[in-house]
Amino acid sequence: MFTRTVTALALVALSAVGTSAQVPTQNAPAQTPSTKGVVLKGRAPVSNDILKVTLPRAQQADLVNGVHLIVLEDHRVPQISIRLDIRGAGGYFDPADMPGVATVVAAMLSEGTKTRTSQQIAEQLETLAASVNINSDMAFESTGVTASCLVDNLDQVLDLAADILLNPSFPEQELARYKLRTKAMLMQQRANPGALANEMFSRLVYGGHPAGRTLTAANVDTITRDALVAFHAARYAPDHAVIGVVGDTTLKEIKAKLDTKLAAWTKKGLAKPDVADPEAISAGKVSLVDRANSVQTNLIVGTQAIPRTSSDYDVLSVTNAIIGGGPTGRLFLNLREEKGYTYGAYSRMSTPRYRGDWGASTQVRTDVTEPALTEILKEVARLRDERIPDKEFQDKKRSLVANFALSLETPSAILGNYVTSWAYGMPADYWDKYPERIMAITQDQIQAAARKYFDSTRLQIVAVGDGKKIGEGLKKFGTLDIYDTDGKLVGGR
């Protein structure tokens, strides 16, 4: 899904260990330099051999409390990074009558414990040159906790992180401040056309599913300290959690420390958290968020796609890269390089444990809204209707494999791959065989995937812009629903 909800980020940031294992997402770059005028001489050395990859092996064990531990040793520098994913503690499991609780719990964890104030926590982390971050989201299954420090300070940082995790006090005064800050931020978001477009797209693609919800000021007002305490007590359990560690340590050493520091964190006997797919989209729709006097239009065209465990994941990844993957993607080459409608046009897909989404997005001048939308739909149709030329296809696959190889230069990325593998029950050699799988994909498979997932009758079109100037043009693409900037339906055809 596009980023559209408030993500709790407990302060003190230095570094994090990759992204949450639950929502692998292919994000579009924010902005990419033009390739116009660049002369391609075709003299770059190209090997047709399939890249052979053998990842350094992570070591795995279970803590005494059942948490799965994955350790990747890296003794080059005396640092260590730790990532904890608590499955079942994300916003997906918010109480139906109180959306946003998980997000607020995560944000409030470092605002005070039974023995430390918020200020003391911040000062200790600064003194130790360490970081502890907690993040959650209304669409997430899990809440993630990350910590990073020098090895010499590991014991003290683990003490502090365990205190934050297990003994939050959720002080009323800090909660009141958090609510004020959050409501001010939510008001600002209503003025952001990108946020409005993402919010509407999620609403259309996910409907009443948790991934379609948005945090509102009214939601924030209903959240009480008692609700935070209850959610933390019920959901912050080690039963289905995983800890990934990368750095200057060994499995034996870090396991002993974690067993000691987390001894008080015991199993609750919770069933494995389950999720459900959103209801299938029955028909495409054109939705306009009328933002008077906008000088540009934010466009998103997309639909529901696949869960991370789908057998179509690799094929759809390549498909997505072809149409919207960076400056060599078809959308960029068409809308920016050829037509000059925009600074950038990309696509991305979100693949959580439930059926996620795929979408193409761009921002264009108001006066080219209609032709830009026509070109986006034309590129989607090309995937369905035309066989991809051999050179473009092979170049794109080689690019994906090369980027994968580059990502393996950072131990944190490798660890992230192992955490993802464990979370989704993938084979032990899943990443070793990634290049081979990507290079084996055929043009027929891409075309079949595009026809299956990018059916024109299921595409959702979202436009945020000046309704007086773009409304009539949008009607040419289907039945039009018009919303105000608060998301209220105010008209249509």
- Encode pLDDT of 90-133 as tens digits: 999 999 899 999 999 999 999 999 999 999 999 999 999 999 99
Residue type, 304: Q
For the segment 67-92, what is each residue's pLDDT rounded down to a tens digit? 999 999 999 999 999 999 999 999 99
What was the pLDDT predicted at 40? 59
From CA 485, how far away is CA 361, in angstroms rounded? 19
Q: Please enumerate in sequence order all residues whose Cβ is within 8 A of that of 450, keeping only pairs 6 or more positions apart, or say none.
A: 319, 380, 383, 384
From CA 139, how far away is CA 148, in angstroms rounded? 26
3-class secondary-structure state, position 379: helix
Query: Tokens 């993938």 appear where?
Result: 426
For the segment 439-476, what is each residue's pLDDT rounded down to a tens digit? 999 999 999 999 999 998 999 999 999 999 999 999 99
What was the pLDDT predicted at 60? 96
- Asked if 165 contacts 109 with a C-beta cutoff of 8 angstroms, the reply is yes
- Asked if 21 contacts 423 with a C-beta cutoff of 8 angstroms, the reply is yes
pLDDT mean over 393-402: 94
Q: For the ranges 30-39, 205-214, 361-370, 415-424, which has the lowest average pLDDT?
A: 30-39
For the segment 149-201, what is each residue's pLDDT rounded down to a tens digit? 999 999 999 999 999 999 999 999 999 999 999 999 999 999 999 999 999 99
Q: Grade residue 47 by pLDDT with cuts at 50, 70 and 90.
A: low
Percent of the chain whose predicted confidence (pLDDT) is above 90? 84
- Asked if 342 contacts 335 with a C-beta cutoff of 8 angstroms, the reply is yes
What was the pLDDT predicted at 3? 43
Task: Give the residue, 154 or 54, on which the prediction is more confident.
Answer: 154
Q: Grade residue 409 by pLDDT with cuts at 50, 70 and 90.
A: confident
What was the pLDDT predicted at 14? 29
Average pLDDT, the chain: 90
pLDDT mean over 274-282: 94
Planar angle of CA 446, 448, 454, nearest 5 degrees? 90
What was the pLDDT predicted at 21? 40
- Asked if 7 contacts 136 with a C-beta cutoff of 8 angstroms, the reply is yes
What was the pLDDT predicted at 41? 60
Q: Which two tokens stand for residue 473?
A: 């043009």
Q: Please enumerate in sequence order all residues whose Cβ is within 8 A of that of 192, keeping only pairs 6 or more positions apart, or say none.
A: none
For the segment 288-301, what is each residue's pLDDT rounded down to a tens digit? 999 999 999 999 99
The answer, yes or no, to whether residue 372 has pLDDT greater than 80, is yes
Task: Give the residue, 21 or 349, on which the prediction is more confident.
Answer: 349
Query: Tokens 């993957």 appear where?
Result: 325
What was the pLDDT predicted at 61? 98
What was the pLDDT predicted at 55? 81
- Asked if 218 contacts 68 with a C-beta cutoff of 8 angstroms, the reply is no
pLDDT mean over 40-65: 78
3-class secondary-structure state, position 397: helix
From CA 258, how far away is CA 355, in angstroms rounded? 34
What was the pLDDT predicted at 98? 93
Q: Grade residue 49 by pLDDT with cuts at 50, 70 and 90.
A: confident
Q: Grade residue 282 by pLDDT with cuts at 50, 70 and 90.
A: confident
- Asked if 146 contacts 18 with a C-beta cutoff of 8 angstroms, the reply is no
- Residue 345's φ and ψ, nearest 5 degrees, are -145, 125
Give the bridge partners for 186, in sequence order: none
Task: Give the residue, 18 or 146, on which the prediction is more confident.
Answer: 146
What was the pLDDT predicted at 26? 43
Distance of CA 198 to the CA centre of its chain: 13
- Residue 32's φ and ψ, nearest 5 degrees, are -125, 140
